[in-house]
Structure 1
Amino acid sequence: MTDDRHIDDELPADGLPGLAEDTDEETEEAGLYEHFAITADRGQSPLRLDKFLVAHMERCSRNRIQAAADSGNILVNDRPAKSNYKVKPLDRIRLVMPWPKAEYEIVAEDIPLDIRYEDDDLLLVDKAAGMVVHPGVGNHCGTLVNALTFHLRNLPMFREGNTRAGLVHRIDKNTSGLLVVAKNEEAHARLARQFFDHSIQRRYVALVWGNFDEDEGTITGNIGRSPHDRQKMYVFADGEQGKHAVTHWRVLRRYGYVTLVECRLETGRTHQIRVHMAWQGHPLFNDERYGGDRILRGTTFAKYRQFVENCFAAMPRHALHARLLGFVHPRTGENVLFETELPDDFRALLERWDNYVAAGKVETDD
């Protein structure tokens, strides 16, 4: 048997192709990456694909293989195959994932976590801005996964060195707020299915440049990697490229030059809120990547410029917070809802704008 075992521990428990994409992590979306490959013997007798792979892949359960097959991540002779496919002589079997194989070991790190809820199946963590969710290029340590690997080190899912252990969705490095983490494979599969089906409630608070004519609205536009800058996402207005994306928004507070909005995600694409808002002419305040880190509305007075610079210093990141997360509990079936308050830097930023407006310094509703 030809056995080029590129064995990896990153087969997701839910079998879905990657994590829900409400994220700004630096990820490559150009294609699929091979994580395991094997060619069946010339004398291979007919055998179910899942049983065949359990026998040839280390540390990978039959349930995880079945889930991966159901989502099209297992190819036989370059075609997706289900778990009941009967392996035949010289079949070429490959496991592919939308992320490259990890080239480093996950080290458990005793990093403090703000855990808002925890039971036997899951936990809710309020991620601080500045923390990367999982290891990647340039971020091999100090991530949420490193911290979770330490905190949950006695659980099977977190002993295997999986770079995405327990994760069913992500938020970007400089976004603060709530993340749900599964503590076992059953919970992982059931939560991931809800994200895949877009049945999860996700609400964010954002401060964006400019004012709105309406009090609420919806942004629909396919999102994909920018053809001009691989570090940015892009809205393809023609609808022929990218992935379908829908963001619902409503005004929470108007400051004239900037507006506080709540965003409800119907889908979860990479950079979705940031790129949708920028596309509509309302980049997030201090969003360096999408042009929000310069003065886009307001006066030309030096005092105003200094005020905005002071605001940038008060919140030296884009103004986005994952405030609310609701889902069906994977074990009890109960609808649960979790909320978190704005972090200190976001509150300090809004206080500055409250004072600025109260002082009558906003000259126009823009």
Structure 2
Amino acid sequence: MVGAVSPQRASTIELVATEADAGVRLDKLLAQRIDTLSRARIQALIRAGNVAGAGGATIGDGSYRVKPGEAFAVNVPEPEPAEPVGEAIALDVVYEDDDLIVIDKPAQLVVHPAPGHESGTLVNALIAHCGESLSGIGGVKRPGIVHRLDKGTSGLLVVAKNDAAHRGLSEQFAAHGTDGRMQRAYLALVWGKPLRPRGMIDARLARSQSNRTKIAVTRGAGGRHAVTHYEVLGTFDTAAGPVSLLRLELETGRTHQIRVHLAHVAHPVLGDATYASGFKAKAAKLDEPARAALAALDRQALHAAELGFEHPITGKSLRFERPLPADMQALLEALQGD
């Protein structure tokens, strides 16, 4: 059966176009018929000369329109060694099987290597932890990152181990839960008390024009559609004024979305050095235990507490919850006693 191959080693997949496939793009046909490979991976294989048609002639154009009865052979090379390399970094593994892994990411752990963070990342840790169970994402033995958490945000994150799982999870995250398969919720401690116990923040986001490292709310048709839903779980009266514990659900998944949206409605996340810098004077008014707990937090008080999705291979519904980490729990208790 087409698609029933192991990406762990070099293999060749053969298939024949049917009458119903007439005129379909080659890359689309192969992606539809080979469920272990993403369309991006298929396109890369075509560009690399790994797809042959009649008589073994290489087809290097994914837009090639297929004809009924045409036979194709797809050569899937053995995955290349991972770059970056694996590093022995302790992980809090919540769930793991042959296709994916769910971890509770600690704060300050960067997800993916980038300038300034070439090593010591979650990807480095996963390469070492998963070892040979990584069967290749895009032809490389590396974990497939389908969503990210900011460096200072803790909580649940799912990662694919192979192309098929990466493809299925990516589809669910692209839908942002609108098809009912995926659920995500965060807990945050924010300044102030929202006027309503439940509400929605609908504000478009774009890269800030004054500071390209920041995201900002933009007016009019510019920027990207972004919606955040919130629920007030509790409010605490402190010497610096009210502080609220919110549960938040994303209808879209934009960079820094929760942090920017909450700052936009004047309820920024405690400890957020980027979007709550104007609240330093307020933080200084907290009583000593709360000030010490906030200083010890040294990050935004934001935690990815709930994650649910449909297993991309088995179809089974999976749901996970993780309580507040110790630093946020300590801050919450200090605020309650303020």
TM over 0.5: yes
Distance in 1 separating the partners of 2:297 and 2:219:
32
Task: Tell me the equivalent position of 1:75.
Answer: none
The match for 2:62 is 83
Q: Which amino acid aligns with 1:254?
A: T
Q: How far does the alpha carbon of each residue in 1:12-62 deviate from its partner, in whole angstroms, 9 at most, with x for none?
A: x9xxxxxxxxxxxxxxxxxxxxxxxxxxxxxxxxxx7659xxxxxxxxx99
Q: Secondary structure at the match of 1:204?
A: strand
Deviation at 1:172, TM superposition (A): 0.7
CA RMSD of aligned residues (A): 3.1
> Which residues of structure 2 form unaligned runs of 5+?
1-6, 8-24, 29-34, 45-60, 67-81
Cα distance in 2 for residues equivalent to 1:125 and 1:151: 12
Q: How much has 1:311 moved relative to structure 2?
A: 3.0
Question: Kindly tell me: are residues 105 and 117 of structure 1, through their superposed partners in 2, closer, same or farther at Cα, counting changes over 3 Å?
Answer: closer
Q: Secondary structure at the match of 2:125?
A: helix
8 Å contact kept, 2:89–2:120: yes
Within the candidate set 277, 301, 304, 1:322 is matched to 304
More deviation, 124-133/146-155: 146-155
Q: Which residue of the other structure, out of 270, 274, 277, is the alignment partner of 1:285?
A: 270
* Map of 2:10 onto structure 1: none
Cα distance between partner residues in 2 of 1:222 and 1:83: 35
Tell me if the contact between 1:224 and 1:234 (Cα under 8 Å) persists in the aligned partners.
yes
- In 2, the alpha carbon distance for the partners of 1:69 and 1:211 equals 50
Q: Residues 213-292 of structure 1: matches in 2 within 5 Å?
A: 213-238=195-220, 240-256=221-237, 257-292=242-277
RCO greater where, 1 or 2, for CA within 8 Å and sep 6 or more?
1
Q: 2:320 aligns with which of 327, 334, 338?
A: 338
Alignment of 1:98-117 (within 5 A): 105-117=83-95
Moved more, 169-178 or 61-70: 61-70
Equivalent residue letter for 1:260: L
Amino acid paired to 1:153:
G
For 1:1-366, list aligned pairs within 5 A: 50=27, 63-65=37-39, 83-85=62-64, 105-154=83-132, 155-157=134-136, 165-199=143-177, 200-238=182-220, 240-256=221-237, 257-292=242-277, 294-295=279-280, 297=282, 304=286, 306-356=288-338
SS of the residue 1:255 aligns to: strand
Letter in structure 1 aligned against 2:163: E
Change (3 A) 1:63 1:334: closer
Which residue of structure 2 lines up, in the alignment, with residue 5 of structure 1?
A: none
Q: Which amino acid aligns with 1:144?
A: L
- TM-score w.r.t. structure 2 length? 0.73
Deviation at 1:308, TM superposition (A): 4.8
Task: State whether residues 105 and 156 of structure 2, in contact with CA within 8 Å, keep that contact through their aligned partners in structure 1.
Answer: yes
For 2:106 and 2:253, locate their aligned partners in 1 and report how far apart those are by CA, in whole Å: 20
- TM-score, with length taken from structure 1: 0.67
Per-residue Cα deviation, 1:90-136 (whole angstroms, up to 9, x for no partner): xxxxxxxxxxxxxx940110111100011121111000001000000
* Identity across the alignment (%): 46
SS at match of 1:153: helix
Equivalent-residue separation in structure 2 for 1:259 and 1:296 (angstroms): 18
- Shift of the alpha carbon at 1:259? 0.5
TM-superposed CA distance for 1:310, in Å, is 1.6
| Cα contact 2:187–2:303 (8 A) shared by 1 | yes
SS of alignment partner, residue 282 of structure 1 = coil
The structure-2 alpha-carbon separation of the partners of 1:237 and 1:68, relative to structure 1 and needing over 3 Å to count, comes to farther
| TM superposition shift of 1:156 | 2.3
Mapped to 2, the partners of 1:68 and 1:215 lie a distance apart of 48
2:299 is paired with a residue whose SS is: coil
Greater helix share, structure number: 2
Tell me if the contact between 1:152 and 1:158 (Cα under 8 Å) persists in the aligned partners. Answer: no
Contact 1:223 1:235 in 2 (8 A): yes
Verify the 8 A CA contact 1:168 1:181 in the aligned structure 2: yes
Answer whether contact 1:283 1:290 (CA < 8 A) is retained: yes
What amino acid is the match of 2:112?
H
Shift of 1:205: 0.2
Unaligned runs of 5+ in 1: 1-12, 14-47, 52-60, 71-81, 88-103, 357-366
| Contact 2:269/2:302 (8 A) holds in 1 | yes
Task: Count residues in correspondence.
Answer: 272
Tell me what 1:23 maps to. none
